[in-house]
């Protein structure tokens, strides 16, 4: 019997990740046959920089697949099975401000961690809800697979404001780290491992790494990470990553020292070593500048070349775990594969001694009806304490957005582990309000 063909819209069509996701979709037509690929963005000029190349990528694989790039929500969301969402409200220039405002006050300035992530959260909620509403209006049976950051705050907002919507919030970070773990353990692929992991988004720990024979690989990997972080042997011999990412992977050696019975998410460095991070960052040239000068330029110029030549032959587009993970998730939903995947979901007892209504990142089984979270048991005091503070911060940001509350946002910033005092929190808040006039609700 022929497999059912799916129709996919990519929300945030102008994203730097769109071409690699489109390419990965059409490289997997045997697993996920497609009848339509749509790009949707609210910035036509930006999306058009990528659209022609994406059309060529699709048509080279199968000219029968319909392709459309549009800024009309009705056209975009009609007759859709899956929405792969990755919007950035305010785009990269606002990320730059998020990072620089914090750093200029001596605080971690990062896309999703610390105050920058909270400012970004206040911008993202509206945009994500708007796209869910379009999807439900024009294709009520569709699923949204949502990468839009800051995923922790966005996930809390979707839990609270769209509790019955078919939205799954995801992150590629554990996937990238698991590939490094597999390399360190001497395995070819992260899917050769059985893992247990719990935490919040960008704030979690692996408690089990085993091969398929049940051999415990965690102690061996911890020994490596204590010395080299998640930098693999190949990467040491022939470095490929940008220096800023290598630093993050390397710093895991100091994070793991705090609990050598587990393996940490790299982004814990922002909370546990914020002094180190601030000392090593340049407030005049942050990661947003680096992304604009590298990934954004590279992706747009590859797409320009593909469009001018009318072919992908001879052009280079990097395909990463990021695209593979979201396509695997789409396949799991479309064809009931029951794959075990890390998702950001409501806790509801999965972490036994943690709030039921917290959005946590844990393994789930994914099939045609969505996901079934797996029980992760009780967690230790160190992790529980850190997570309680962080989840309170994330919930207060969503409270502030919902209630237009200056006080709740001040409390949220004060609660964040990267912020040293209520005074600094207030100064940051006033700076962010000024910078985000166009995007935040007016706080009273």
Ligand X SMILES: O=P(O)(O)OC[C@H]1O[C@H](O[C@H]2[C@H](O)[C@@H](O)[C@@H](O)O[C@@H]2CO)[C@H](O)[C@@H](O)[C@@H]1O
Ligand Y SMILES: NC(=O)c1ccc[n+]([C@@H]2O[C@H](COP(=O)([O-])OP(=O)(O)OC[C@H]3O[C@@H](n4cnc5c(N)ncnc54)[C@H](O)[C@@H]3O)[C@@H](O)[C@H]2O)c1
Dihedral over alpha carbons 435, 438, 439, 444 (to 10 degrees): 80
Size of the site for ligand Y (CB under 6 A): 29
The reply on whether position 177 binds Mn ion by CB under 5 A is no
- Restricted to residues 138-167, the positions that interact with ligand Y (CB under 6 A) are 147-149, 151
Question: Which of 32, 58, 173, 185 forms a contact with Mn ion (CB under 5 A)?
Answer: 173
Q: Which does 131 bind (CB under 5 to 8 A by kind): ligand Y, Mn ion, ligand X, none?
A: ligand Y
Alpha helices in 261-350 (DSSP H): 269-272, 274-280, 287-293, 295-309, 321-335
Sheet holding 359-367: strands in order across? 66-70, 34-40, 6-11, 82-85, 143-146, 167-169, 339-346, 359-367, 370-373
CA-atom Rg of the chain in angstroms = 21
- Minimal distance, residue 384 CB to ligand X, in Å: 23
Told to judge if 271 belongs to the known catalytic residues of this protein, a careful annotator would answer no
- Please report whether residue 330 would count as binding ligand X according to CB under 6 A: no
Closest to ligand X by CB, 173 or 334: 173
CB 71 within 8 A of CB 40: yes
Question: Looking at 81, 172, 183, 431, which residue is catalytic?
Answer: 172
Helix pair angle (422-435, 406-415), 10° resolution: 130
**Partner from ligand Y, Mn ion, ligand X, none contacting 127, C-beta within 5 to 8 A by type:** ligand Y
Helix (H) or strand (E) holding 13: none
Q: Any contact of residue 123 with ligand Y (CB under 6 A)?
A: no
Crossing angle of helices 321-335/173-185, nearest 10°?
110
Catalytic residue among 134, 147, 267, 432: 267
176 binds ligand X (CB under 6 A): yes
Which of the listed partners (ligand X, ligand Y, Mn ion, none) does 34 bind, with a CB threshold of 5 to 8 Å by partner kind?
Answer: none
Instruction: Write the interaction track for ligand X spanning residues 289-328; mark x where CB under 6 A is met and - where it is not.
Output: --x----------------------------xxx------
State yes or no: is 267 an active-site residue.
Answer: yes
DSSP string of 221-233? HHHHHHHHTT--H
Q: Is 159 in the site for ligand X (CB under 6 A)?
A: no
Active site residues per annotation: 172, 267
Residues that bind ligand X (CB under 6 A): 111-112, 149, 171-173, 176, 287, 291, 320-322
């Amino acid at each position: 019997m022929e497999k059912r063909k799916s129709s996919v819209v990519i929300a945030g069509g102008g994203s730097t990740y769109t071409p690699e996701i489109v390419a990965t979709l059409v490289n997997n037509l045997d697993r996920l046959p497609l009848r339509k690929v749509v790009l949707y963005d609210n910035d036509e000029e930006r999306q058009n920089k990528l659209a022609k190349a994406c059309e060529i990528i699709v048509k080279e694989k199968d000219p029968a697949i319909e392709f459309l790039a549009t800024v009309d929500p009705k056209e975009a969301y009609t007759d859709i099975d899956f929405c792969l969402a990755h919007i950035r409200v305010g785009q990269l220039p606002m990320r730059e401000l998020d990072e620089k405002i914090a750093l200029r006050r001596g605080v971690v300035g990062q896309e999703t961690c610390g105050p920058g992530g909270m400012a970004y959260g206040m911008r993202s909620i509206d945009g994500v809800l708007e796209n869910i509403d379009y999807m439900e209006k024009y294709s009520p049976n569709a699923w949204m697979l949502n990468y839009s950051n800051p995923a922790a705050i966005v996930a809390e907002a979707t839990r609270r404001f769209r509790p019955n919507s078919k939205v799954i919030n995801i992150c590629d970070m554990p996937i990238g780290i698991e590939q490094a773990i597999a390399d360190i353990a001497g395995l070819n692929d992260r899917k050769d491992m059985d893992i247990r992991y719990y935490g919040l988004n960008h704030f979690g720990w692996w408690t089990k790494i085993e091969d398929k024979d049940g051999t415990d690989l965690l102690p061996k990997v911890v020994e490596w990470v204590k010395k080299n972080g998640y930098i693999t042997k190949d990467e040491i011999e022939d470095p490929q990553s940008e220096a800023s990412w290598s630093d993050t992977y390397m710093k895991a050696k100091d994070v793991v020292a705090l609990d050598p019975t587990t393996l940490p998410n790299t982004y814990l460095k922002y909370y546990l070593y914020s002094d180190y991070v601030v000392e090593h960052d340049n407030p005049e040239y942050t990661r947003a500048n680096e992304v604009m000068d590298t990934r954004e330029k590279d992706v747009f110029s590859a797409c320009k070349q593909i469009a001018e030549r009318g072919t992908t032959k001879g052009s280079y587009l990097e395909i990463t775990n990021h695209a593979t993970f979201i396509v695997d998730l789409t396949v799991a939903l479309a064809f009931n594969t029951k794959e075990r995947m890390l998702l950001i979901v409501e806790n509801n007892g999965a972490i036994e001694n943690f709030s039921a209504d917290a959005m946590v990142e844990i393994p789930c089984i994914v099939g045609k009806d969505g996901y079934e979270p797996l029980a992760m048991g009780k967690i230790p005091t160190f992790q529980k304490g850190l997570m309680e503070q962080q989840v309170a911060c994330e919930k207060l940001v969503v409270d502030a957005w919902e209630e237009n509350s200056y006080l709740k946002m001040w409390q949220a910033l004060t609660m964040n582990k990267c912020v040293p005092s209520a005074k600094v929190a207030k100064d940051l808040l006033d700076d962010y309000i000024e910078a985000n006039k166009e995007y935040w609700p007016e706080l009273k």
